[in-house]
Amino acid sequence: MKKKYLPLFIVLFLFSCFQKKEIVENTIIEEVEVVETETVKKELKEKYQASRKKSNILLHTKLDVSFSWEKQLVFGEATIKLRPFFYPTNKLLLDAKNFDLHKVAIIKGKDTSDLKFNYDNFLINIDLDKKYTKDEEYTIFIDYTANPNENTGEGGRTVTDSKGLYFINPMGEGSGSHQEIWTQGETEYSSCWFPTIDAPNQRCTQEIFITVENKFITLSNGILYNTLLNADSTRTDHWVMEKAHAPYLFMLAVGEYEKIEDEWQGMDVSYYVHPEYVEVARQVFDKTPEMIEFFSTIFEVEYPWAKYSQIVVDEFVSGAMENTTATVFGDFMVENSFWYSAFDKEMIIAHELAHHWFGDYVTCESWANTVLNEGFATYSEYLWTEYEYGKDEAELIFSDKLSYCFSNRNDDVVNFHYHKKDDMFGYNSYQKGAWILHNLRNYVGDQAFFDAIKIYLKRFAYKSAEIHDLRLCFEEVTGEDLNWFFNQWYFGAGYPILEIKKEFDDSQNIATVTIKQLQNTKKMPIYTLPIDFAIHLENETVNKRIMLTEEEQIFTFDLSEKPLLIEIDPNRFLLCKRKEEKLTANEQKTVLDRSTGTWAKYDALIFFENYTNDDIKREALTSILDSDYWWFRQKAIFIYEEEDNETDKIFIEKLKTLQHKDPRKEVREAAEIFLSKV
């Protein structure tokens, strides 16, 4: 799921104009204590949010629904096949929020027998006709009317409402929103429009018969199996989902949409929008087949569902939602939006598609483990950007997410003490979850990282999982006990704050680096951190990885000469804040010449943008013109300033080459403009 219109969350893609981006590094960061009240502490200790107990499990759900637009009601018949999970039982609890129940019965062959039940507007407590064992299936029939507008909860940060099913402009009046019906089931809002066991650790196959006026198009999970024209000018569409998925991923949409057809390896890929947005939608969603191919390849699990549809609806209560095979997006995707650039929309498409592996195919066992869904989907935005635009672009864009990792620092990422389910859909599960995966990938290496993910996906295919399941997959591949990593990042709160001091003994050619962890260790751990060092000497760079395991550690390096620079975590993999001395101009030049870190080079360019003209600056900017990353070349041209009307001849010659031969139009144009003024 993608969050809705949160300015702090939005990453405006103006990375062809990176000049406006501000990243503060090598500055002193003061630690601000967050004081927890005794009431909060007590609540956290008392309330443990366990996974939903499985007394019965869903096997198949068949729904037959129609609607009253005027009264905004759902008329439904649900036929639900279940069985006891392990222990024999003669009871069944179903979630059903604000229903009028007309009949609750059990089906045996051709016979239907009424069952006794109690209902409190939230749960149907059903007395079964006998005690069933785990080897016995039974089928329940419920005739009901759902009143979604009676569900008046406030929702949460990500999903801002809790009706589950929404009538938009139900009478089709005015020139504003279109006449629509659509659903939004996460976290546990599907039970606002059909009875179910509304928990992420349940899953079942489904079929939905949707009866609407003939002018409307319908969309649901799976494939459109059949269509029946009725005598009263209505139509019944029969949608079938043959592979099991969680109830919160059930969806339907009704409206006067136009279907844009696409395909991937012969599979139906489609985009549903209102007619006036067809051409825009073709541009917005055009990379979808390529994304399906990419994720299928990198995860080594082929897209596991029968089709993939994407639909744009009006007044959506979230940003987007990854309903299995049928993702719903807000109308910002096709309208001009202040908050969302074309690139942002591309990332949202990638995010929701990735959920079809992480969330739909393998589902978090409980909302406490939401990071298994959202962390992977958010990190998949990085993976797609890395593939489509290159590692440098991905690194700079991904760096924007780091600041969000420093929010909610008193909450564990896997949090069994949340107040509301929707609380789990915040920075910890999204941005921090993605950064933890980035750290893990750096530590174990690419081959091990993707091998472990493949094992995880295949082992828990069409099942639910918790964070320990992911850990065990990584341990199986690497042969290493990784509890230290998972405990400090997933089951711990906060982040490390590192004070870094460097010294060099000229008499003995010994460099000393002292790293001290400054975070409040009463609330946060002493972190174990794999830290990469790049020691830049005159004619070589020595790379070392050292484990930081203590509150304060001193590392010494016996060198042949004084280093030009000792870079610590040059690729900025660490999720941390740093306190250290600012780099000198010569050291910043070394970063541009020698560093492997995209973000570090970005900081160096910003340094020289505000630096007094001298030979160091001119040499540094001339050198970076040879960078493989187009934006560095463009930026160097923008910030190069003439001094005494003299421009470095080597710089000019390089610009002449770039003007005609650079593969990027942006760089060619920048070079041409500069040269026209010389």
464 falls within a domain: yes
Residue type, 303: Y
Q: Tokens in use for 418?
A: 């949340």
For residues 79 and 138, state if they share a domain: yes
272 falls within a domain: no
For residues 511 and 405, state if they share a domain: no
Lowest-pLDDT choice from 5-14, 170-179, 643-652: 5-14
Residue at which a domain ends, from 580, 605, 629 = 580
Q: Tokens in use for 445?
A: 């290496």
Q: What is the pLDDT of residue 678?
A: 78
Q: What is the pLDDT of residue 340?
A: 87
> What domain range includes position 106?
56-256
404-438 residues labelled b (16+ CB within 10 A) or e (exposed):
bbbebbebbbbbbebeebbbbbbbbbbbbbbbbbb
For residues 213 and 137, state if they share a domain: yes
Comparing CA positions, the residue from 266, 36, 67 lying closest to residue 182 is 67
196 falls within a domain: yes
Cα distance between residue 96 and residue 617, in whole Å: 68
Reduce the DSSP state of residue 412 to 3 states and report it: coil
Q: How confident is the model at residue 160 (pLDDT cuts 50, 70, 90)?
A: low
CATH number of the domain bearing residue 370: 1.10.390.10
pTM: 0.92
Residue at which a domain ends, from 489, 518, 536 = 489
With residue 39 as reference, give the H or E element that holds it.
Answer: helix 38-46
Residue, of 404 and 214, whose pLDDT is higher: 214
With residue 458 as reference, give the H or E element that holds it.
Answer: helix 446-459
Q: What is the pLDDT of residue 596?
A: 95
For residues 652 and 525, state if they share a domain: no
279 falls within a domain: no
For residues 187 and 206, state if they share a domain: yes
Q: How many domains does the chain have?
A: 4
What are 113-122's pLDDT values in tens digits?
999 999 999 9
For residues 207 and 103, state if they share a domain: yes
For residues 363 and 392, state if they share a domain: yes
What distances in angstroms separate CA 561 from CA 71, 507, 558, 583, one per listed residue? 82, 10, 9, 19
Phi-psi region at 109: left, alpha or beta (left = phi > 0; alpha = psi -120 to 50): left
Lowest-pLDDT choice from 36-50, 415-429, 450-464: 36-50
Q: What is the pLDDT of residue 24?
A: 29
For residues 509 and 550, state if they share a domain: yes
Cα distance between residue 351 and residue 373, in whole Å: 10
For residues 109 and 250, state if they share a domain: yes
For residues 434 and 526, state if they share a domain: no
What are 18-74's pLDDT values in tens digits?
333 332 233 333 333 334 444 544 554 558 999 999 999 999 999 999 999 999 999
Percent of the chain at pLDDT exceeding 70: 91
Write the DSSP string, 622-661.
Answer: HHHTT-SSHHHHHHHHHH---BTTB--HHHHHHHHHHHHH
The stretches of 460-597 forming alpha helices (DSSP H) are: 467-478, 483-489, 585-594
Q: What average pLDDT does the structure give for the chain? A: 91
The stretches of 400-445 forming alpha helices (DSSP H) are: 433-444
Cα distance between residue 275 and residue 175, in whole Å: 15
What are 282-304's pLDDT values in tens digits?
999 999 999 999 999 999 999 99
Q: What is the pLDDT of residue 21?
A: 31
Q: How confident is the model at residue 174 (pLDDT cuts 50, 70, 90)?
A: confident
245 falls within a domain: yes
Residue at which a domain ends, from 204, 228, 256 = 256
Residue 353 CB-half CA count within 13 A:
30
Q: What is the pLDDT of residue 301?
A: 98
Please report how the helices 649-661 and 665-677 are oriented relative to each other, as an axis angle in degrees rounded to 10. 140
Q: How confident is the model at residue 5 (pLDDT cuts 50, 70, 90)?
A: very low
Q: At residue 322, does pLDDT exceed 50?
A: yes
For residues 186 and 249, state if they share a domain: yes
Strands 510-517 and 320-321: unpaired
Q: What is the pLDDT of residue 3?
A: 59
For residues 385 and 414, state if they share a domain: yes
Q: How confident is the model at residue 277 (pLDDT cuts 50, 70, 90)?
A: very high
Give the list of residues 6+ apart from residue 159 with CB closer than 8 angstroms, or none.
1, 4, 184, 186, 187, 189, 317, 318, 422, 425
CATH number of the domain bearing residue 62: 2.60.40.1730
Local structure of residue 18 (DSSP, 8 states):
G
The stretches of 189-341 forming alpha helices (DSSP H) are: 278-284, 288-298
274 and 248 Cβ atoms separated by less than 8 Å? no
